[in-house]
Structure 1
Amino acid sequence: MRNFGRTAGRKRKSKGNSGGVRRKKRQLFDGVTGLFLFLVLVIMVSPLLLIVSYSFMGSGELKEVCGAVLSGMKGMAGFRFFPAYPTLRAYVQILLDSPEFFTSFWNSCIQTGGILLGQFLVAVPAAWAFANFRFPGKNVLWFLYMLLMILPFQVTMVSGYLVLNKIHLMDTFAAIILPGMFSTLPVFILRKTFAAVPREIIETAKVDGADEFRIFLSIGLPLGKAGIFAILILGFLESWNAIEQPMTYLKTAAYWPMSLYLPQIMEKNASLAFVASMIMLVPALLLFFFGQDYLEQGIAASGLKG
């Protein structure tokens, strides 16, 4: 009996030791993972911090730090997270004495707002129809939607140019808004969101005498709110930062959005370019932070999460 007790004690002790080893390994793994994620975060956030810092630098200090990149000076570009001589001169100049910036800013607002309004009016009903209606050619049409979604802009650029030129919309806001409002990604996201609406609710509404349009307004839109906000946020981020479409379809500088305005002033006045970049970042950051929950819910409902 004594030998049995000693053997059982050794087993319990060895199990305790193995549990402690596993705990230490898990803590070590968690620590290494946390350190790696922190380094990744620093690398991702560093460009944003540099933009904030450089926006408070004067032209002379910027030339000293980034002259090798911005002015073709010899040497290496440096990094300076805190300006030695902070100044608000560039902010005052671009906010009070830069009409070109305000023109490009409102151009971005008009183009992005038109695209979002168009996506709401086109993508939302289209996704509801794909999710709830049966009609001839539905699978073929959905296949075409998916095909267009995976094609990059470079593939459809020439055909889009020819169509817009034929209908005399080149070099207008409509040349940016019309292709954007018929984007297929919002339909893909919302289709699964609307497909998750319980059929019992829809059938009950039909029994109560509601027609399809009333069901869409009273049931589809409220229950698909997360997905709708998600596509609007994604559409805003894509349209606000778009550069290839405006560069292809807009030739007159008076119609250029900020994404085309920034490269033009970078060579002339780097201080103004960094301040304009800061101002351009603010709407996207605010929209992302305040709409993050809707974005996560919408992407989760669409089945895109990993």
Structure 2
Amino acid sequence: MKKKIIFLILVILSLFMCFPVIFLIAGSFMGKAELTGHLAPVLGKGKDFVSWGLLPKYPTIRSYVELLLDTPQFFVMFWNSVKIVFLSIAGQLVVGIAAAWGFARYNFRFKKILFTLYIVVMLMPFQVTMLSSYLVLDSFKMLDTHWSIILPAIFSTFSIFIMYRFFCNIPEAIIESARIDGASELKIFFKIGIPLGMPGIMSAVILQFLELWNLIEQPLTFLKDKSLWPLSIYLPNITLENADIAFTASAVTLIAAIIVFFAGQSYLEQGIAASAVKE
């Protein structure tokens, strides 16, 4: 009986947490008139209380057709997001895997101090490093280019931290056996380290995808040209005139994140568990 009560409570809490997504999906299938009736007290001059229905009264896909077939700006920003995310994650894999392997498997001078600095940098919010990043990017003439977003993301310390935990869990006996058999350090890295650390690598990729796909502050700070903006800041100002497109654009943007999340859910759970293990 106790388990059933706990299960019921968890189901209710889950539905409550999923309500914003249900709210969004339902709004994306509502017509402009129905959305106006619901949102007028917030976005218009209405004086009544806000109301909302979990299911649209008159469902329509008109806003989807308008967004996907008659809004070129949306596709420009979509491909901006794809470019930023793909290049950032590719760079993180090149830099981060090697760095995480070095920290996990080799002893060198000032290793603990350097790794501690990595953790400190990881814990710093963007607001702390914004000014210094702006000055550095300005000196390299990278402001108002996608590289102002991509380059800092390539050297993200968070992905290194996640992969480091998995590389540490590789048994030392396997590494030593490979060395006794005459394998070079490079061969050990590619033939043993990367295959056995693949769950950590994939979890880092998924976490970084979710972060980069939803970037807001960095594009607003470093990109003045709106044609370079990613999809995450599409239609930042919602009005009654564009509410239907805003809901639909948000729903379409959410689809990519949902697909990646469910495709790599098991890896994500392993990454979170590994990052919580105390060294």
Shorter-chain TM range is: over 0.9
Match of 1:78 among 51, 54, 58: 51
Kindly state the Cα deviation for residue 304 of structure 1 after the two structures are TM-superposed: 4.6
CA distance in 1 between counterparts of 2:41 and 2:171 reads: 61
CA distance in 2 between counterparts of 1:299 and 1:67 reads: 41
Partners of 2:202 and 2:264 within 8 A in 1: yes
Q: Are 2:139 and 1:154 aligned?
A: no
Q: What residue is the counterpart of 1:91 in the other structure?
A: 64
Match of 1:100 among 73, 84, 87: 73
Give the superposed CA RMSD: 1.5
Partners of 1:127 and 1:190 within 8 A in 2: yes
Kindly state the Cα deviation for residue 283 of structure 1 after the two structures are TM-superposed: 1.0
TM-score (structure 1 length as normaliser): 0.87
Q: What residue is the counterpart of 1:116 in the other structure?
A: 89
Q: Are 2:194 and 1:216 aligned?
A: no
Q: Secondary structure at the match of 2:190?
A: helix
Q: Are 2:21 and 1:48 aligned?
A: yes
Q: What residue is the counterpart of 1:193 in the other structure?
A: 166
Distance change (3 Å), C-alpha of 1:194 and 1:267: farther
CA distance in 2 between counterparts of 1:88 and 1:144 reads: 51
Distance change (3 Å), C-alpha of 1:126 and 1:231: same
CA distance in 1 between counterparts of 2:214 and 2:239 reads: 17
Count of residues in correspondence between the two structures: 278
Distance change (3 Å), C-alpha of 1:265 and 1:254: farther
Q: Secondary structure at the match of 2:49?
A: coil
> 2:75 is matched by which residue type in structure 1?
F
Kindly state the Cα deviation for residue 87 of structure 1 after the two structures are TM-superposed: 1.1
TM-score (structure 2 length as normaliser): 0.95
Alignment deviations for residues 140-167 of structure 1 (CA, whole Å, 9 cap, x no partner): 1111101101111111111111111111
> 2:137 is matched by which residue type in structure 1?
L
Q: Secondary structure at the match of 1:251?
A: coil
Q: What residue is the counterpart of 2:228 in the other structure?
A: 255
> 2:172 is matched by which residue type in structure 1?
R
CA distance in 1 between counterparts of 2:38 and 2:161 reads: 46
Match of 1:274 among 247, 261, 276: 247
Q: What residue is the counterpart of 1:288 in the other structure?
A: 261
Distance change (3 Å), C-alpha of 1:188 and 1:91: same
How do 1:58-69 residues align onto structure 2 when only pairs under 5 Å count? 58-69=31-42
Match of 1:141 among 114, 128, 134: 114
Partners of 2:200 and 2:271 within 8 A in 1: yes
Between 1 and 2, higher relative CO (CA 8 Å, sep ≥ 6) is seen in 2
Q: Secondary structure at the match of 2:186?
A: helix
Structure 1: unaligned runs, 5 residues or longer: 1-26
> 1:221 is matched by which residue type in structure 2?
I
Structure 2: unaligned runs, 5 residues or longer: none
Kindly state the Cα deviation for residue 266 of structure 1 after the two structures are TM-superposed: 5.1
Partners of 1:262 and 1:277 within 8 A in 2: no
Moved more, 225-234 or 137-146: 137-146
CA distance in 1 between counterparts of 2:38 and 2:73 reads: 27
Larger Rg: 1
CA distance in 2 between counterparts of 1:122 and 1:72 reads: 53
Partners of 2:36 and 2:240 within 8 A in 1: no
Q: What residue is the counterpart of 1:36 in the other structure?
A: 9
Q: Secondary structure at the match of 2:235?
A: helix
Partners of 1:227 and 1:294 within 8 A in 2: yes
Q: Secondary structure at the match of 1:263?
A: coil
Partners of 1:226 and 1:298 within 8 A in 2: yes
Kindly state the Cα deviation for residue 223 of structure 1 after the two structures are TM-superposed: 0.1
Q: Secondary structure at the match of 1:262?
A: coil
Identity, in percent, stands at: 46
Moved more, 267-276 or 243-252: 267-276
Q: Are 2:157 and 1:184 aligned?
A: yes
